[in-house]
């Protein structure tokens, strides 16, 4: 991975604004004029490079961001969209049709799960949900109708790690497309370099980083992105999840500082995970040696960006989880909110929020417990101070007093 530094690829892109500005000019237009009718026709047919017709097709601002994100992920090109789901859903619908089959990780974002479980069957597309960490189970789920392997680099919310290189070998063997949602690990992991065919992000999260914009991106080959944008048959073109030019420009500016932010998110999360585990809390973080995929993840990451900013702890019950989150918010330690990648720490109980689309019995099967709290660790300057304040909250609620015992009971059960 040393010969590919994704942050350098972003830095090497240089765009001048229309009047020499250090930021590219924003094309605040929904439609574009032509000097001749023939040029308009040629543009509509896709034969005029650099000409714009209508902003649902493309815009200069979106194309700047496309190029930057493709450079970051090491793909030929990319297509930004109005949301993360606006990237995921057209991508899967472009790859699959009636009678096709998808093999997906069972622990994925609740919205993606609901799309695959409840929505795509309307179109005759079926999905098998499997433990993505067991390659033999993944391969056994493949049928002659399978077209796609789908996973998240680090799963939401259980932080399971997908062996992308191993999955890529299976995909190649069976002539499938490996689609990887890399939202939790931008810069840290480069899935395309590990063999993924298509890489997706919710730009809403780390890449934008300021929780003021919703967006998504699909990074892939020119052939696939062109198929997504085809005026007659492209899912992104025809479903219309277009990103607004002003939002593209905003994300583009924030992308320039992603490498600094990811390092701090990772540093802070690793510190807290170490401390929580020492205190006896059941802590899941890929940077901990206790994580079942720690050694695998070490081989996958670009080391300078660390193991990411996401961690979970289990405090035993939903009641305790809610009490702790409410107290931490009251003490200004973060926000009881969904999403991730913000400068402040965000925490939520996934079973009743971001994973609530998953039926309770299936949550239990995959190990999503009532007392689980998902943390998106922020950019705190003094993380030791943050830890001491969080620890005090846990002591006041009696969580730390019983955490060690809870950990021992959990180990015995499993």
Q: Determine if the pTM surpasses 0.85.
A: yes
At 22 the pLDDT is 85
Alpha-carbon gap, residue 134 to 305, rounded angstroms: 26
Predicted confidence band at 148 (pLDDT cuts at 50, 70, 90)? very high
Predicted confidence band at 2 (pLDDT cuts at 50, 70, 90)? low
- Using one digit for the tens of pLDDT, what is the confidence trace for 349-358? 986 655 556 6
Alpha-carbon gap, residue 229 to 221, rounded angstroms: 13
The arithmetic mean of pLDDT across residues 264-279, rounded, is 98
At 356 the pLDDT is 58
Q: Which two tokens stand for residue 64?
A: 């700047």
**For residue 294, how many other CB atoms are within 10 A of its CB?**
15
Alpha-carbon gap, residue 307 to 287, rounded angstroms: 5
At 314 the pLDDT is 95
Q: Which two tokens stand for residue 309?
A: 């900013």
Q: Which residue has the higher pLDDT, 43 or 221?
A: 221
Instruction: Determine the 3-state secondary structure of 266 from DSSP.
Output: helix
CB–CB of 410/404 below 8 Å? Answer: no
Q: Which two tokens stand for residue 201?
A: 């992000």
The arithmetic mean of pLDDT across residues 80-107, rounded, is 98
Mean pLDDT over each residue of the chain, to the nearest integer:
91
What CATH class does 259-397 carry?
alpha beta
Instruction: Determine the 3-state secondary structure of 269 from DSSP.
Output: helix
**For residue 408, how many other CB atoms are within 10 A of its CB?**
12
CATH code 3.90.1150.10 region(s) in the chain: 259-397
| C-alpha 125 chain-centroid distance | 23
Q: Which two tokens stand for residue 374?
A: 């998902």
Look at the chain and count its residues: 414
- Using one digit for the tens of pLDDT, what is the confidence trace for 337-376? 999 999 999 999 986 655 556 666 776 676 778 899 999 9
The arithmetic mean of pLDDT across residues 19-38, rounded, is 85
At 405 the pLDDT is 46
At 18 the pLDDT is 79
Predicted confidence band at 300 (pLDDT cuts at 50, 70, 90)? very high
The bridge status of strand 198-202 relative to strand 177-181 is parallel
Instruction: Determine the 3-state secondary structure of 101 from DSSP.
Output: strand
Report CA torsion sign: 152, 339, 301, 133.
Answer: negative
Dihedral (Cα; 107, 182, 24, 264), 10-degree rounding: 100
Which overall architecture, per CATH, does domain 6-253 show?
3-Layer(aba) Sandwich (3.40)
Instruction: Tell whether the model's pLDDT for residue 406 goes beyond 50.
Output: no
At 39 the pLDDT is 79
Q: How much of the chain, in percent, has pLDDT values that exceed 70?
A: 91
At 352 the pLDDT is 61
CATH code 3.40.640.10 region(s) in the chain: 6-253
Predicted confidence band at 1 (pLDDT cuts at 50, 70, 90)? very low
Q: Is 256 exposed, middle or buried (0-12, 13-18, 19+ CB in 10 A)?
A: middle
- Using one digit for the tens of pLDDT, what is the confidence trace for 371-397? 999 999 999 999 999 999 999 999 999
Report CA torsion sign: 159, 160, 161, 167.
Answer: negative
Alpha-carbon gap, residue 153 to 108, rounded angstroms: 10
Q: Which residue has the higher pLDDT, 204 or 360?
A: 204
Report CA torsion sign: 168, 89, 111, 184.
Answer: positive
Instruction: Tell whether the model's pLDDT for residue 312 goes beyond 60.
Output: yes
The arithmetic mean of pLDDT across residues 22-47, rounded, is 80
Instruction: Tell whether the model's pLDDT for residue 402 goes beyond 60.
Output: no
At 409 the pLDDT is 38
DSSP 347-403: EE-GGGTTTTTS-HHHHHHHT--TTEEEEE----S-HHHHHHHHHHHHHHTTHHHHH
Instruction: Tell whether the model's pLDDT for residue 47 goes beyond 90.
Output: no
At 407 the pLDDT is 46
What are the distances in angstroms from CA 246 to CA 24, 207, 243, 252, 278? Answer: 11, 16, 9, 10, 46
Instruction: Determine the 3-state secondary structure of 152 from DSSP.
Output: strand
- Using one digit for the tens of pLDDT, what is the confidence trace for 104-141? 999 999 999 999 999 999 999 999 999 999 999 999 99
């Amino acid at each position: 991975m040393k010969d590919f530094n994704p942050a350098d690829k972003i830095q090497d892109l240089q765009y001048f604004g229309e009047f020499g500005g250090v930021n590219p000019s924003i094309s605040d237009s929904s439609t574009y004029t032509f000097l001749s009718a023939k040029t308009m026709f040629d543009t509509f047919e896709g034969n005029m490079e650099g000409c714009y017709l209508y902003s649902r097709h493309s815009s200069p601002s979106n194309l700047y961001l496309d190029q930057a994100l493709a450079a970051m992920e090491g793909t030929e090109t990319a297509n930004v969209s109005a949301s993360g789901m606006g990237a995921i859903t057209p991508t899967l619908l472009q790859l699959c049709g009636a009678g096709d089959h998808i093999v997906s990780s069972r622990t994925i974002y609740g919205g993606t799960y609901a799309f695959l479980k409840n929505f795509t069957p309307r179109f005759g597309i079926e999905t098998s949900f499997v433990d993505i960490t067991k390659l033999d189970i993944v391969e056994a789920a493949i049928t002659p109708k399978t077209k796609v392997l789908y996973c998240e680099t680090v799963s939401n919310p259980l932080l399971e790690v997908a062996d992308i290189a191993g999955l890529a070998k299976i995909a190649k063997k069976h002539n499938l497309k490996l689609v990887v949602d890399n939202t939790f690990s931008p810069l840290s992991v480069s899935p395309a370099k590990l063999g993924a065919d298509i890489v997706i992000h919710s730009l809403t999260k780390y890449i934008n980083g300021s929780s003021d914009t919703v967006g998504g991106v699909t990074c892939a080959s020119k052939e696939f992105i062109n198929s997504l944008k085809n005026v007659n048959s492209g899912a992104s073109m025809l479903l219309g999840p277009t990103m607004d030019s002003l939002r593209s420009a905003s994300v583009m500016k924030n992308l320039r500082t992603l490498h600094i932010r990811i390092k701090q998110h990772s540093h802070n999360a690793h510190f807290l995970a170490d401390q929580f585990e020492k205190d006896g809390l059941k802590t899941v973080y890929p940077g901990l040696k206790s994580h079942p995929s720690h050694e695998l993840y070490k081989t996958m990451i670009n080391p300078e960006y660390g193991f990411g900013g996401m961690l979970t702890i289990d405090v035993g019950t939903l009641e305790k989880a809610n009490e702790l989150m409410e107290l931490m918010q009251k003490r200004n330690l973060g926000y009881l909110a969904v999403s991730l990648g913000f400068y402040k720490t965000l925490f939520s109980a996934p079973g009743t929020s971001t994973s609530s689309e998953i039926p309770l019995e299936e949550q239990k099967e995959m190990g999503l417990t009532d007392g689980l709290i998902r943390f998106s660790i922020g950019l705190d300057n003094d993380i030791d101070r943050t830890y001491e304040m969080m620890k005090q909250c846990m002591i006041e609620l009696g969580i730390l007093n019983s955490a060690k015992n809870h950990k021992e009971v959990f180990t015995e059960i499993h």
